[in-house]
Structure 1
Protein backbone atom coordinates (compact mmCIF):
# COMPACT_ATOMS: atom_id res chain seq x y z
CA UNK A 1 0.00 0.00 0.00
CA UNK A 2 1.29 3.45 -0.85
CA UNK A 3 2.11 5.74 2.07
CA UNK A 4 -0.34 8.42 3.15
CA UNK A 5 0.24 11.63 1.20
CA UNK A 6 -0.56 15.03 2.55
CA UNK A 7 -2.18 17.56 0.23
CA UNK A 8 0.26 19.05 -2.29
CA UNK A 9 -0.29 22.61 -3.50
CA UNK A 10 1.68 24.73 -5.95
CA UNK A 11 3.14 27.81 -4.29
CA UNK A 12 1.39 30.21 -6.68
CA UNK A 13 -1.95 28.59 -5.81
CA UNK A 14 -1.63 29.23 -2.07
CA UNK A 15 -4.23 31.37 -0.38
CA UNK A 16 -5.44 32.40 3.03
CA UNK A 17 -5.60 29.51 5.49
CA UNK A 18 -2.77 27.49 3.95
CA UNK A 19 0.06 26.26 6.21
CA UNK A 20 2.45 24.18 4.12
CA UNK A 21 5.73 22.36 4.58
CA UNK A 22 8.52 22.92 2.06
CA UNK A 23 11.14 20.17 2.06
CA UNK A 24 13.88 21.09 -0.40
CA UNK A 25 17.08 19.34 -1.39
CA UNK A 26 18.77 22.13 -3.34
CA UNK A 27 19.10 25.89 -3.01
CA UNK A 28 17.57 26.57 -6.40
CA UNK A 29 14.28 24.96 -5.39
CA UNK A 30 14.17 26.95 -2.15
CA UNK A 31 14.85 30.17 -4.04
CA UNK A 32 12.21 29.45 -6.71
CA UNK A 33 9.48 28.70 -4.19
CA UNK A 34 10.28 31.52 -1.80
CA UNK A 35 10.67 34.17 -4.49
CA UNK A 36 7.22 33.31 -5.85
CA UNK A 37 5.72 33.18 -2.36
CA UNK A 38 7.11 36.55 -1.27
CA UNK A 39 6.33 38.39 -4.50
CA UNK A 40 2.77 37.05 -4.58
CA UNK A 41 2.16 38.29 -1.04
CA UNK A 42 3.50 41.76 -1.85
CA UNK A 43 1.39 41.97 -5.01
CA UNK A 44 -1.75 40.98 -3.09
CA UNK A 45 -1.22 43.70 -0.49
CA UNK A 46 -0.39 41.29 2.32
CA UNK A 47 2.15 41.91 5.05
CA UNK A 48 5.09 39.57 4.49
CA UNK A 49 7.41 38.24 7.20
CA UNK A 50 10.50 36.10 6.52
CA UNK A 51 12.51 34.48 9.31
CA UNK A 52 15.92 33.50 7.93
CA UNK A 53 18.48 31.11 9.38
CA UNK A 54 20.87 29.58 6.85
CA UNK A 55 20.05 32.31 4.35
CA UNK A 56 21.33 35.84 5.02
CA UNK A 57 18.59 38.51 4.96
CA UNK A 58 20.44 40.38 2.19
CA UNK A 59 20.26 37.25 0.06
CA UNK A 60 16.47 37.25 0.35
CA UNK A 61 16.45 40.85 -0.90
CA UNK A 62 18.65 39.74 -3.82
CA UNK A 63 16.08 37.07 -4.76
CA UNK A 64 13.46 39.80 -5.11
CA UNK A 65 15.73 42.19 -7.00
CA UNK A 66 16.81 39.51 -9.47
CA UNK A 67 13.13 38.72 -10.05
CA UNK A 68 12.62 42.37 -11.02
CA UNK A 69 11.25 43.80 -7.75
CA UNK A 70 13.06 46.39 -5.63
CA UNK A 71 12.09 45.60 -1.99
CA UNK A 72 13.04 49.05 -0.66
CA UNK A 73 9.54 50.57 -0.66
CA UNK A 74 8.00 47.49 0.99
CA UNK A 75 10.74 47.49 3.64
CA UNK A 76 10.33 51.19 4.33
CA UNK A 77 6.55 50.92 4.67
CA UNK A 78 6.72 47.87 6.90
CA UNK A 79 4.91 45.63 4.42
CA UNK A 80 8.02 43.43 4.20
CA UNK A 81 10.15 42.37 7.14
CA UNK A 82 13.09 39.97 6.86
CA UNK A 83 14.73 39.03 10.12
CA UNK A 84 16.55 36.05 11.61
CA UNK A 85 15.50 33.03 13.63
CA UNK A 86 17.44 34.42 16.59
CA UNK A 87 15.31 37.58 16.46
CA UNK A 88 11.99 35.75 16.03
CA UNK A 89 11.71 32.12 17.14
CA UNK A 90 14.51 32.56 19.68
CA UNK A 91 14.00 36.20 20.64
CA UNK A 92 13.72 35.27 24.33
CA UNK A 93 16.57 32.75 24.23
CA UNK A 94 14.86 29.36 24.60
CA UNK A 95 12.17 28.48 22.09
CA UNK A 96 8.73 29.06 23.59
CA UNK A 97 6.13 27.40 21.36
CA UNK A 98 3.15 29.03 23.06
CA UNK A 99 4.70 32.51 22.96
CA UNK A 100 5.49 32.13 19.24
CA UNK A 101 1.95 31.02 18.45
CA UNK A 102 0.58 34.00 20.40
CA UNK A 103 2.94 36.36 18.56
CA UNK A 104 1.73 35.09 15.19
CA UNK A 105 -1.91 35.52 16.23
CA UNK A 106 -1.07 39.12 17.13
CA UNK A 107 0.70 39.67 13.83
CA UNK A 108 -2.44 38.59 11.94
CA UNK A 109 -4.61 40.99 13.96
CA UNK A 110 -2.21 43.92 13.61
CA UNK A 111 -1.67 43.35 9.88
CA UNK A 112 -5.40 43.49 9.17
CA UNK A 113 -5.84 46.52 11.42
CA UNK A 114 -3.08 48.29 9.48
CA UNK A 115 -4.99 47.80 6.24
CA UNK A 116 -3.10 44.87 4.76
CA UNK A 117 -5.16 42.16 3.07
CA UNK A 118 -3.58 39.45 5.20
CA UNK A 119 -0.36 38.07 6.66
CA UNK A 120 2.15 35.87 4.84
CA UNK A 121 4.93 34.18 6.85
CA UNK A 122 7.83 31.88 6.07
CA UNK A 123 10.54 30.59 8.35
CA UNK A 124 13.70 28.54 7.83
CA UNK A 125 13.50 25.85 10.51
CA UNK A 126 17.16 24.72 10.53
CA UNK A 127 17.69 26.55 13.83
CA UNK A 128 15.85 23.64 15.49
CA UNK A 129 18.90 21.45 14.81
CA UNK A 130 21.03 23.57 17.10
CA UNK A 131 21.27 22.86 20.82
CA UNK A 132 18.42 25.24 21.65
CA UNK A 133 16.33 24.79 24.80
CA UNK A 134 12.72 24.24 23.79
CA UNK A 135 13.53 22.92 20.31
CA UNK A 136 12.09 19.58 21.38
CA UNK A 137 8.65 21.28 21.27
CA UNK A 138 8.85 21.90 17.52
CA UNK A 139 6.34 19.14 16.74
CA UNK A 140 3.90 20.59 19.28
CA UNK A 141 4.43 24.06 17.81
CA UNK A 142 3.68 22.93 14.26
CA UNK A 143 0.37 21.43 15.41
CA UNK A 144 -0.65 24.50 17.43
CA UNK A 145 0.29 27.00 14.75
CA UNK A 146 -2.23 25.43 12.36
CA UNK A 147 -4.93 27.37 14.23
CA UNK A 148 -3.20 30.66 13.41
CA UNK A 149 -3.78 30.14 9.70
CA UNK A 150 -6.81 27.87 9.29
CA UNK A 151 -9.81 30.02 8.47
CA UNK A 152 -7.89 33.28 8.79
CA UNK A 153 -6.42 35.84 6.39
CA UNK A 154 -2.96 34.37 6.75
CA UNK A 155 -0.68 31.73 5.25
CA UNK A 156 2.70 30.19 6.01
CA UNK A 157 5.46 28.02 4.58
CA UNK A 158 7.81 26.25 7.01
CA UNK A 159 11.10 25.42 5.28
CA UNK A 160 12.99 22.22 6.03
CA UNK A 161 16.30 21.51 4.33
CA UNK A 162 16.24 17.79 3.47
CA UNK A 163 20.06 17.80 3.46
CA UNK A 164 20.09 18.71 7.16
CA UNK A 165 17.08 16.95 8.68
CA UNK A 166 17.09 13.16 8.86
CA UNK A 167 14.23 11.32 7.14
CA UNK A 168 12.36 10.38 10.33
CA UNK A 169 12.39 13.95 11.65
CA UNK A 170 11.42 15.40 8.29
CA UNK A 171 8.55 12.95 7.95
CA UNK A 172 7.28 13.81 11.44
CA UNK A 173 7.25 17.54 10.71
CA UNK A 174 5.71 17.02 7.28
CA UNK A 175 2.81 15.11 8.84
CA UNK A 176 2.10 17.99 11.23
CA UNK A 177 1.28 20.30 8.32
CA UNK A 178 -2.05 20.22 6.48
CA UNK A 179 -0.14 20.13 3.20
CA UNK A 180 3.16 20.43 1.39
CA UNK A 181 4.47 22.72 -1.33
CA UNK A 182 4.36 20.88 -4.65
CA UNK A 183 7.77 20.94 -6.26
CA UNK A 184 8.33 21.92 -9.87
CA UNK A 185 7.83 18.93 -12.22
CA UNK A 186 10.92 17.72 -14.05
CA UNK A 187 8.65 16.77 -16.93
CA UNK A 188 4.95 17.22 -17.55
CA UNK A 189 2.78 16.20 -20.48
CA UNK A 190 -0.59 14.59 -21.06
CA UNK A 191 0.97 11.12 -20.81
CA UNK A 192 3.67 11.51 -18.16
CA UNK A 193 4.53 13.62 -15.13
CA UNK A 194 7.86 13.31 -13.31
CA UNK A 195 7.48 15.06 -10.00
CA UNK A 196 9.94 15.48 -7.11
CA UNK A 197 8.06 14.77 -3.92
CA UNK A 198 8.43 13.58 -0.34
CA UNK A 199 7.89 10.00 0.80
CA UNK A 200 8.38 8.98 4.42
CA UNK A 201 10.62 11.97 4.95
CA UNK A 202 12.84 11.30 1.93
CA UNK A 203 12.98 13.09 -1.38
CA UNK A 204 11.67 10.88 -4.16
CA UNK A 205 10.78 11.06 -7.83
CA UNK A 206 7.13 10.24 -8.50
CA UNK A 207 6.41 8.72 -11.91
CA UNK A 208 2.81 9.42 -12.91
CA UNK A 209 1.47 7.98 -16.17
CA UNK A 210 3.18 6.02 -18.94
CA UNK A 211 6.86 5.51 -19.80
CA UNK A 212 7.22 4.03 -23.27
CA UNK A 213 10.08 4.20 -25.79
CA UNK A 214 9.23 7.84 -26.61
CA UNK A 215 9.19 8.97 -22.95
CA UNK A 216 12.15 6.90 -21.70
CA UNK A 217 14.61 9.76 -22.47
CA UNK A 218 12.50 12.10 -20.29
CA UNK A 219 12.78 9.61 -17.44
CA UNK A 220 16.53 9.34 -18.01
CA UNK A 221 16.86 13.12 -17.90
CA UNK A 222 14.90 13.34 -14.64
CA UNK A 223 16.99 10.59 -13.08
CA UNK A 224 20.13 12.46 -14.10
CA UNK A 225 18.88 15.57 -12.28
CA UNK A 226 18.05 13.81 -9.02
CA UNK A 227 21.47 12.17 -8.83
CA UNK A 228 22.62 15.36 -7.11
CA UNK A 229 20.32 14.60 -4.18
CA UNK A 230 22.11 13.29 -1.09
CA UNK A 231 22.07 9.61 -0.14
CA UNK A 232 20.04 6.89 -1.79
CA UNK A 233 17.52 7.73 -4.53
CA UNK A 234 13.88 6.65 -4.46
CA UNK A 235 11.59 6.38 -7.49
CA UNK A 236 7.92 6.07 -6.52
CA UNK A 237 6.00 4.01 -9.08
CA UNK A 238 2.65 3.94 -7.26
CA UNK A 239 1.02 6.09 -9.95
CA UNK A 240 2.77 4.43 -12.92
CA UNK A 241 0.37 3.08 -15.53
CA UNK A 242 2.82 1.49 -17.96
CA UNK A 243 6.56 1.18 -18.50
CA UNK A 244 8.34 -0.68 -21.29
CA UNK A 245 11.84 -2.14 -21.35
CA UNK A 246 13.35 1.17 -22.49
CA UNK A 247 12.06 2.79 -19.30
CA UNK A 248 13.25 -0.05 -17.10
CA UNK A 249 16.64 0.09 -18.82
CA UNK A 250 16.87 3.80 -17.89
CA UNK A 251 16.39 2.85 -14.23
CA UNK A 252 19.02 0.09 -14.43
CA UNK A 253 21.59 2.33 -16.12
CA UNK A 254 21.09 5.04 -13.50
CA UNK A 255 21.61 2.51 -10.70
CA UNK A 256 24.82 1.28 -12.35
CA UNK A 257 26.18 4.85 -12.47
CA UNK A 258 25.68 5.55 -8.76
CA UNK A 259 28.83 5.88 -6.64
CA UNK A 260 29.70 2.99 -4.33
CA UNK A 261 27.48 2.90 -1.28
CA UNK A 262 24.44 4.53 -2.90
CA UNK A 263 21.34 2.75 -4.17
CA UNK A 264 18.38 3.40 -6.39
CA UNK A 265 15.16 2.17 -4.77
CA UNK A 266 12.26 1.57 -7.17
CA UNK A 267 9.18 1.22 -4.98
CA UNK A 268 5.50 0.36 -5.48
CA UNK A 269 6.12 -1.11 -8.92
CA UNK A 270 3.42 -3.28 -10.46
CA UNK A 271 4.09 -6.94 -9.43
CA UNK A 272 4.12 -8.13 -13.05
CA UNK A 273 6.75 -5.55 -14.00
CA UNK A 274 8.78 -6.51 -10.94
CA UNK A 275 8.74 -10.07 -12.21
CA UNK A 276 9.90 -8.93 -15.66
CA UNK A 277 12.86 -7.17 -14.07
CA UNK A 278 13.66 -10.38 -12.18
CA UNK A 279 13.48 -12.49 -15.36
CA UNK A 280 15.74 -10.09 -17.27
CA UNK A 281 18.16 -10.15 -14.33
CA UNK A 282 18.33 -6.41 -13.68
CA UNK A 283 17.44 -6.97 -10.04
CA UNK A 284 20.92 -8.48 -9.68
CA UNK A 285 22.48 -5.01 -9.99
CA UNK A 286 23.82 -4.41 -6.46
CA UNK A 287 22.81 -0.74 -6.43
CA UNK A 288 19.20 -1.38 -7.57
CA UNK A 289 16.37 -2.53 -5.33
CA UNK A 290 12.85 -3.15 -6.63
CA UNK A 291 9.82 -3.41 -4.37
CA UNK A 292 6.46 -4.46 -5.79
CA UNK A 293 3.32 -2.72 -4.65
CA UNK A 294 0.88 -4.72 -2.58
CA UNK A 295 -2.07 -6.18 -4.43
CA UNK A 296 -5.12 -3.93 -4.20
CA UNK A 297 -8.32 -5.54 -2.92
Structure 2
Protein backbone atom coordinates (compact mmCIF):
# COMPACT_ATOMS: atom_id res chain seq x y z
CA UNK A 1 0.00 0.00 0.00
CA UNK A 2 1.57 3.26 -1.17
CA UNK A 3 1.24 6.65 0.47
CA UNK A 4 2.32 10.05 -0.74
CA UNK A 5 5.52 11.49 0.68
CA UNK A 6 7.07 14.84 -0.15
CA UNK A 7 6.38 18.54 -0.51
CA UNK A 8 2.86 19.21 -1.78
CA UNK A 9 1.75 22.11 -3.96
CA UNK A 10 -1.94 21.29 -3.58
CA UNK A 11 -4.29 18.99 -1.69
CA UNK A 12 -5.14 16.99 -4.80
CA UNK A 13 -4.05 13.55 -5.90
CA UNK A 14 -4.02 11.98 -2.43
CA UNK A 15 -5.22 8.49 -1.54
CA UNK A 16 -7.12 6.63 1.15
CA UNK A 17 -4.21 6.59 3.62
CA UNK A 18 -2.53 9.96 3.13
CA UNK A 19 -1.58 12.39 5.88
CA UNK A 20 -0.83 16.00 5.02
CA UNK A 21 0.36 19.00 7.04
CA UNK A 22 -0.96 22.19 5.47
CA UNK A 23 0.40 25.41 6.98
CA UNK A 24 -1.39 28.53 5.82
CA UNK A 25 -1.28 32.30 6.12
CA UNK A 26 -4.91 33.14 5.39
CA UNK A 27 -8.10 31.25 6.14
CA UNK A 28 -9.44 31.40 2.61
CA UNK A 29 -6.37 29.55 1.37
CA UNK A 30 -6.85 26.73 3.85
CA UNK A 31 -10.57 26.50 3.13
CA UNK A 32 -9.87 26.08 -0.60
CA UNK A 33 -7.39 23.28 0.11
CA UNK A 34 -9.84 21.61 2.50
CA UNK A 35 -12.52 21.58 -0.20
CA UNK A 36 -10.05 20.12 -2.72
CA UNK A 37 -9.04 17.42 -0.28
CA UNK A 38 -12.56 16.49 0.78
CA UNK A 39 -14.02 16.53 -2.75
CA UNK A 40 -11.40 14.03 -3.88
CA UNK A 41 -12.21 11.89 -0.85
CA UNK A 42 -15.82 11.75 -1.99
CA UNK A 43 -14.66 10.66 -5.43
CA UNK A 44 -12.74 7.82 -3.75
CA UNK A 45 -15.87 6.76 -1.88
CA UNK A 46 -14.83 8.04 1.54
CA UNK A 47 -17.07 9.71 4.09
CA UNK A 48 -15.69 13.20 4.71
CA UNK A 49 -15.61 15.61 7.67
CA UNK A 50 -14.65 19.26 7.92
CA UNK A 51 -13.62 20.55 11.36
CA UNK A 52 -12.56 24.16 11.95
CA UNK A 53 -12.86 27.10 14.30
CA UNK A 54 -16.18 28.47 13.07
CA UNK A 55 -19.88 27.76 13.45
CA UNK A 56 -21.29 24.62 11.87
CA UNK A 57 -23.56 26.76 9.68
CA UNK A 58 -20.62 28.71 8.26
CA UNK A 59 -18.59 25.57 7.72
CA UNK A 60 -21.49 24.01 5.83
CA UNK A 61 -21.89 27.14 3.72
CA UNK A 62 -18.22 26.95 2.89
CA UNK A 63 -18.49 23.33 1.73
CA UNK A 64 -21.49 24.18 -0.43
CA UNK A 65 -19.19 26.25 -2.64
CA UNK A 66 -18.35 22.87 -4.14
CA UNK A 67 -21.40 21.24 -5.73
CA UNK A 68 -20.33 17.68 -4.90
CA UNK A 69 -19.71 18.56 -1.26
CA UNK A 70 -23.05 20.33 -1.04
CA UNK A 71 -24.77 17.21 -2.35
CA UNK A 72 -22.79 15.08 0.10
CA UNK A 73 -23.93 17.26 3.00
CA UNK A 74 -27.55 16.63 2.05
CA UNK A 75 -26.94 12.89 1.63
CA UNK A 76 -24.99 12.48 4.87
CA UNK A 77 -21.71 11.57 3.15
CA UNK A 78 -20.18 14.81 4.45
CA UNK A 79 -20.50 16.53 7.77
CA UNK A 80 -19.13 19.61 9.48
CA UNK A 81 -18.14 20.07 13.12
CA UNK A 82 -17.30 23.29 14.93
CA UNK A 83 -13.94 22.74 16.66
CA UNK A 84 -15.25 24.35 19.86
CA UNK A 85 -17.89 21.60 20.08
CA UNK A 86 -15.12 18.98 20.17
CA UNK A 87 -12.37 20.69 22.14
CA UNK A 88 -12.58 23.21 24.99
CA UNK A 89 -10.27 26.25 24.86
CA UNK A 90 -6.61 25.32 25.44
CA UNK A 91 -7.48 21.60 25.34
CA UNK A 92 -4.63 19.12 25.74
CA UNK A 93 -5.66 16.00 23.88
CA UNK A 94 -5.00 12.46 25.09
CA UNK A 95 -3.21 10.96 22.07
CA UNK A 96 -4.39 7.35 22.34
CA UNK A 97 -8.00 8.39 23.00
CA UNK A 98 -7.99 10.67 19.97
CA UNK A 99 -6.69 7.87 17.75
CA UNK A 100 -9.34 5.52 19.12
CA UNK A 101 -12.07 8.05 18.31
CA UNK A 102 -10.96 8.36 14.68
CA UNK A 103 -10.52 4.59 14.43
CA UNK A 104 -14.11 4.09 15.58
CA UNK A 105 -15.36 6.70 13.10
CA UNK A 106 -13.40 5.02 10.30
CA UNK A 107 -14.85 1.60 11.10
CA UNK A 108 -18.34 3.15 11.21
CA UNK A 109 -17.79 4.66 7.76
CA UNK A 110 -16.70 1.27 6.43
CA UNK A 111 -19.72 -0.47 7.95
CA UNK A 112 -21.95 2.15 6.32
CA UNK A 113 -20.56 1.25 2.90
CA UNK A 114 -17.89 3.91 2.42
CA UNK A 115 -14.29 3.15 1.51
CA UNK A 116 -13.03 4.92 4.62
CA UNK A 117 -12.94 8.32 6.32
CA UNK A 118 -11.26 11.57 5.30
CA UNK A 119 -10.98 14.60 7.59
CA UNK A 120 -9.84 18.17 6.93
CA UNK A 121 -9.24 19.81 10.29
CA UNK A 122 -7.73 23.10 11.42
CA UNK A 123 -5.72 22.03 14.47
CA UNK A 124 -4.19 25.42 15.29
CA UNK A 125 -6.09 25.60 18.58
CA UNK A 126 -4.55 22.32 19.73
CA UNK A 127 -0.95 23.43 19.20
CA UNK A 128 -0.70 26.93 20.66
CA UNK A 129 0.95 26.09 23.98
CA UNK A 130 3.97 23.86 24.75
CA UNK A 131 1.94 21.31 26.73
CA UNK A 132 -0.59 21.10 23.93
CA UNK A 133 2.11 20.63 21.31
CA UNK A 134 3.78 17.86 23.26
CA UNK A 135 0.58 15.83 23.34
CA UNK A 136 -0.46 16.73 19.81
CA UNK A 137 2.90 15.81 18.32
CA UNK A 138 2.64 12.39 19.91
CA UNK A 139 -0.88 12.04 18.53
CA UNK A 140 0.27 13.01 15.02
CA UNK A 141 2.67 10.08 14.98
CA UNK A 142 0.18 7.60 16.46
CA UNK A 143 -2.55 8.54 14.00
CA UNK A 144 0.00 8.33 11.18
CA UNK A 145 0.73 4.76 12.24
CA UNK A 146 -2.99 4.00 12.19
CA UNK A 147 -3.30 5.38 8.66
CA UNK A 148 -0.72 2.93 7.32
CA UNK A 149 -3.15 0.05 7.78
CA UNK A 150 -6.65 1.56 7.72
CA UNK A 151 -8.35 3.84 5.15
CA UNK A 152 -8.24 7.07 7.11
CA UNK A 153 -6.78 10.23 5.53
CA UNK A 154 -6.29 13.66 7.07
CA UNK A 155 -5.35 17.21 6.11
CA UNK A 156 -4.07 19.02 9.22
CA UNK A 157 -4.20 22.81 9.04
CA UNK A 158 -1.76 25.03 10.97
CA UNK A 159 -2.09 28.82 10.94
CA UNK A 160 1.50 29.97 10.46
CA UNK A 161 1.17 33.62 11.62
CA UNK A 162 -0.39 32.50 14.89
CA UNK A 163 1.86 29.54 15.66
CA UNK A 164 5.15 30.74 14.14
CA UNK A 165 7.55 28.99 11.79
CA UNK A 166 9.28 26.97 14.50
CA UNK A 167 6.07 25.43 15.83
CA UNK A 168 4.92 24.61 12.30
CA UNK A 169 8.27 22.90 11.68
CA UNK A 170 7.90 20.82 14.86
CA UNK A 171 4.64 19.37 13.54
CA UNK A 172 5.25 19.41 9.80
CA UNK A 173 8.23 17.07 10.22
CA UNK A 174 5.89 14.37 11.63
CA UNK A 175 3.86 14.12 8.41
CA UNK A 176 4.80 12.15 5.28
CA UNK A 177 3.47 15.02 3.15
CA UNK A 178 3.56 18.75 3.83
CA UNK A 179 3.43 22.05 2.00
CA UNK A 180 5.96 23.53 4.45
CA UNK A 181 9.70 23.69 3.83
CA UNK A 182 10.45 24.89 7.36
CA UNK A 183 11.53 21.39 8.43
CA UNK A 184 14.41 19.91 6.41
CA UNK A 185 13.37 16.31 7.19
CA UNK A 186 10.24 14.21 7.79
CA UNK A 187 9.90 11.33 10.27
CA UNK A 188 6.73 9.28 9.82
CA UNK A 189 5.19 5.81 10.02
CA UNK A 190 6.17 3.14 7.53
CA UNK A 191 3.75 0.98 5.57
CA UNK A 192 6.32 -1.83 5.70
CA UNK A 193 6.04 -3.72 8.98
CA UNK A 194 9.77 -4.43 8.95
CA UNK A 195 10.53 -0.78 9.68
CA UNK A 196 9.96 1.23 12.85
CA UNK A 197 9.56 4.46 10.84
CA UNK A 198 10.63 6.25 7.66
CA UNK A 199 12.91 9.24 7.26
CA UNK A 200 13.01 11.61 4.30
CA UNK A 201 14.73 14.87 3.39
CA UNK A 202 17.99 16.19 4.82
CA UNK A 203 19.33 15.67 8.33
CA UNK A 204 21.54 18.72 8.56
CA UNK A 205 22.30 21.77 10.71
CA UNK A 206 18.84 23.22 10.09
CA UNK A 207 17.32 20.25 11.89
CA UNK A 208 19.92 19.95 14.66
CA UNK A 209 17.44 20.97 17.36
CA UNK A 210 14.33 19.61 15.67
CA UNK A 211 15.49 16.04 14.99
CA UNK A 212 16.14 14.96 18.61
CA UNK A 213 12.78 16.48 19.55
CA UNK A 214 11.01 14.51 16.82
CA UNK A 215 12.69 11.29 17.96
CA UNK A 216 11.66 11.88 21.56
CA UNK A 217 8.06 12.62 20.65
CA UNK A 218 7.54 9.78 18.17
CA UNK A 219 9.54 7.11 20.03
CA UNK A 220 9.74 4.72 17.04
CA UNK A 221 9.12 1.25 18.41
CA UNK A 222 11.72 -1.50 18.17
CA UNK A 223 11.27 -4.41 15.76
CA UNK A 224 13.13 -7.59 16.74
CA UNK A 225 15.28 -5.74 19.26
CA UNK A 226 16.25 -2.80 17.06
CA UNK A 227 14.79 0.42 15.70
CA UNK A 228 15.07 0.02 11.94
CA UNK A 229 14.61 3.28 10.00
CA UNK A 230 13.92 3.34 6.28
CA UNK A 231 16.13 6.24 5.19
CA UNK A 232 16.06 5.55 1.44
CA UNK A 233 14.52 9.00 0.89
CA UNK A 234 17.21 10.80 2.92
CA UNK A 235 19.68 12.74 0.77
CA UNK A 236 22.08 13.90 3.51
CA UNK A 237 22.95 12.92 7.09
CA UNK A 238 25.33 14.97 9.25
CA UNK A 239 27.23 13.89 12.36
CA UNK A 240 24.82 15.68 14.73
CA UNK A 241 21.93 13.57 13.51
CA UNK A 242 23.90 10.35 13.92
CA UNK A 243 24.82 11.37 17.46
CA UNK A 244 21.13 12.09 18.14
CA UNK A 245 20.24 8.59 16.91
CA UNK A 246 22.97 7.08 19.09
CA UNK A 247 21.73 9.03 22.12
CA UNK A 248 18.16 7.93 21.47
CA UNK A 249 19.21 4.29 21.18
CA UNK A 250 21.22 4.35 24.40
CA UNK A 251 18.41 6.07 26.29
CA UNK A 252 15.96 3.33 25.25
CA UNK A 253 18.36 0.40 25.55
CA UNK A 254 18.25 -0.55 21.90
CA UNK A 255 20.15 -0.19 18.63
CA UNK A 256 19.13 2.15 15.82
CA UNK A 257 19.79 0.92 12.29
CA UNK A 258 19.70 3.45 9.48
CA UNK A 259 18.99 1.72 6.17
CA UNK A 260 20.22 4.11 3.53
CA UNK A 261 21.68 4.39 0.06
CA UNK A 262 24.30 6.85 1.34
CA UNK A 263 27.83 5.66 2.04
CA UNK A 264 28.90 8.48 4.37
CA UNK A 265 26.85 7.60 7.50
CA UNK A 266 28.75 4.34 8.07
CA UNK A 267 32.09 6.16 7.81
CA UNK A 268 31.01 8.90 10.20
CA UNK A 269 29.66 6.36 12.69
CA UNK A 270 33.02 4.56 12.65
CA UNK A 271 35.00 7.80 12.97
CA UNK A 272 32.94 8.94 15.96
CA UNK A 273 32.95 5.43 17.49
CA UNK A 274 29.20 5.46 17.98
CA UNK A 275 28.13 2.13 19.49
CA UNK A 276 24.33 2.19 19.42
CA UNK A 277 23.68 3.29 15.85
CA UNK A 278 24.77 1.70 12.61
CA UNK A 279 24.11 2.08 8.90
CA UNK A 280 23.02 -0.61 6.48
CA UNK A 281 22.91 -0.44 2.70
CA UNK A 282 19.37 -0.05 1.37
CA UNK A 283 18.37 -2.91 -0.86
TM-score (normalised: structure 1) = 0.53
Does the 8 Å CA contact 1:23/1:198 hold for their aligned counterparts? no
| Contact 1:51 1:88 (C-alpha < 8 Å) held by counterparts | no
Match of 2:136 in 1: 138
Corresponding residue to 2:107 among 88, 97, 109: 109
Are the equivalent residues in 1 in contact too, given 2:16–2:41 (CA < 8 A)? no
CA offsets, 1:80-104, max 9 Å, x none?
Answer: 121122333559x652221111111
Q: Where does the alignment leave 5 or more consecutive residues of structure 2 unmatched?
A: 185-263, 265-283
- The answer as to whether partners of 1:89 and 1:100 remain within 8 angstroms in 2 is no
Encode CA deviations 1:128-187: one digit per residue, 9 max, x unaligned. 256697554111111111022113222111100111112211101000111114xxxxxx
Contact 1:124–1:159 at 8 Å: present in 2 too? yes
Secondary structure of 2:162's aligned partner? coil
Alignment of 1:245-264 (within 5 A): none
Distance 1:85 1:165 in 2: 17
Q: How many residues align?
A: 179
CA shift in 2, pair 1:174/1:134, >3 Å? closer
Show the counterpart of 1:151: 149
The match for 2:25 is 25
Partner of 1:198: 181
Counterpart Cα distance in 1 of 2:123 and 2:28: 17
Q: Is the 8 A contact 2:165 2:182 kept in 1?
A: no
Change (3 A) 1:45 1:160: same
Q: Which residue of 1 aligns with 2:7?
A: 8
TM-score, structure 2 length as denominator?
0.56
Separation (CA, whole Å) in 1 of partners of 2:68 and 2:75:
15
1:57 and 2:56 equivalent?
yes
Contact 2:92 2:126 in 1 (8 A): no
Q: SS of 1:11's equivalent?
A: coil
Partner of 1:98: 96
Cα distance in structure 1, aligned partners of 2:149 and 2:127? 31
Q: Whose radius of gyration is greater, 1 or 2? A: 1
Q: CA deviation at 1:22?
A: 0.3
Identify if the C-alpha distance between structure 1 residues 164 and 151 changes in structure 2 by more than 3 Å, giving closer, same or farther: same
> Please, what is the CA RMSD of the aligned residues?
2.8
Q: Is the 8 A contact 1:174 1:180 kept in 2?
A: yes
Label 1:165 to 1:134 Cα distance change in 2 as closer, same or farther (>3 A): closer
